[in-house]
Amino acid sequence: MQFELDEDNALLKSSTQEFLEKESPLEKVRTVTEETPEGFSREVYAQLAELGYLGLTLPEKLGGAEAGPVGLAAVTHEMGRAAFPGPFLDWLLGAEMLSRLDGEQAATLLQEVIQGEKIVFLAQSETLTHPREPESSVRFSDGKVSGTKGPVAFGASADALLVTTREGLVLVPRPEAGWNTVSLDTFDHTQRFVQITLDAPGKLVSDQAIPQEVNLLGALGASALLLGLMERCLELAVNYLKEREAFGRTIGSFQALQHRAADMWIQTESSHAAVYRAAWALSEQLEEAPFLVAAAKAYSGDAAGFVCGETIQLFGGVGFTWEYDPHIYFKRVKTLQQLYGSTRNQLEMALRAKGL
């Protein structure tokens, strides 16, 4: 199934590609992720704020770009291709949640987030296996939040958290004390995950959990990131097959390797259709949108693992070495398979959406 972007979203996608090629080529990605504690460039994110990306999906009346789910997919698709570092999607989801809250504090904080002055992240997960447990172990009582959340991506950089508790959603500005972060070791060196133990003042801003539409945007954005990662890996693999020689000929001339590359292409194109169909359904607020988003996240997670894993295999012994690029994409894929609803959880959600 083929999906064509309209003129506005096509321009947004090409503009994002040009920006990332200039401001965040892979050489800079390596430097930022390997040599800086935060793992991303504040300067680049300030530029994103100036261009309106940090309010990408928000309505114009709130200072957003009103690009919608399709625009989100187009942008994160390109960010996946560039292995763009940092918490862009989490930053965006924080803004989305703030836009749904009443009160002057939330409105002020939202503008600071959109302008790149503050970072607010959602803190939902308490395990990777069940990221959206029906009852949180974190409590809110007497104006204070107590308990542990994690993993929280780039949580050490947050200025505030929107924390799910048994009593509802609580806004926790970062205090001088009562907010303890512990870095978590990860397979993906480009990520910065922390576990956050809270015993800090907060404000109950909603008696409900994170709305489904916010989590759907997170799953959609992650699906598009996975699409970009596998798409770039496929390009790296094909280029290598054209250049590497063995037995006096390029290895791309061997039929067995051609078949493997064809399988990678099929998985990538199928993911492309699944991701953009889900984005369109979400933008149109179709009843089947939750199913399509869950299916896109589950399928693209498995597909990206296959494509990026095959890329490393086709590169041979050097495929997983530090000097070559495939490992960067492969590791990011392994991380995204577990976040924004793991592949297993998304499959369960897709089945539930169909009444199974």
pLDDT score of 202: 94
Q: pLDDT tens digit string along 263-275?
A: 999 999 999 999 9
pLDDT score of 275: 98
Q: What's the rounded Cα separation, in Å, for the pair 249 and 240?
A: 13
Locate 154 and state its tokens: 């780039």
pLDDT score of 128: 60
Q: pLDDT tens digit string along 182-209?
A: 999 888 988 999 999 999 999 999 988 8
Q: What's the rounded Cα separation, in Å, for the pair 236 and 233?
A: 5
Average pLDDT by stretches of 10, the chain with 356 residues: 84 97 96 94 97 96 94 98 97 97 94 97 78 71 93 95 94 88 90 94 91 95 98 97 91 94 97 97 96 97 97 90 94 95 90 83
Sole residue written with tokens 């699944």? 274
Q: What's the rounded Cα separation, in Å, for the pair 301 and 91?
A: 21
pLDDT score of 3: 75
| Helix, strand and coil in the chain, % to nearest 5 | 55, 15, 30
The fold adopted by the segment(s) 7-114 is: Butyryl-Coa Dehydrogenase, subunit A; domain 1 (1.10.540)
Task: Say which residues have a Cβ less than 8 Å from residue 146's Cβ, sequence separation at least 6.
Answer: 138, 139, 140, 198, 199
- β 120-123/160-165 pair status: parallel
pLDDT score of 1: 59
Domain regions of the chain by residue span = 7-114, 120-206, 212-353
Q: Which of left, alpha, beta for 146 (phi over 0: left; psi -120 to 50: alpha)?
A: beta
Query: How is the beta sheet containing 179-184 ordered, strand by strand?
Result: 139-141, 144-153, 193-201, 179-184
DSSP labels for 222-285?
A: HHHHHHHHHHHHHHHHHHHHHH-EETTEEGGGSHHHHHHHHHHHHHHHHHHHHHHHHHHHHHTT
pTM beyond 0.85, yes or no: yes
Locate 1 and state its tokens: 């199934």
Sign of CA dihedral 191, 195, 201, 206: positive
Q: Which CATH superfamily is domain 212-353 in?
A: Butyryl-CoA Dehydrogenase, subunit A, domain 3 (1.20.140.10)
Q: Which CATH superfamily is domain 120-206 in?
A: Butyryl-CoA Dehydrogenase, subunit A, domain 2 (2.40.110.10)
pLDDT score of 131: 43
DSSP E strands: which ranges in the chain? 120-123, 139-141, 144-153, 160-165, 168-173, 179-184, 193-201, 203-206, 245-246, 249-250
Q: What's the rounded Cα separation, in Å, for the pair 205 and 66?
A: 24
- Which among 122, 92, 98 is positioned nearest to 110, based on CA atoms? 98
Q: Facing residues of 148 across strands?
A: 197
Asked if the domains at 120-206 and 212-353 fall in one CATH topology, the answer is no
Q: Apex CA 114: angle with CA 120 and CA 13, to 5°?
A: 110
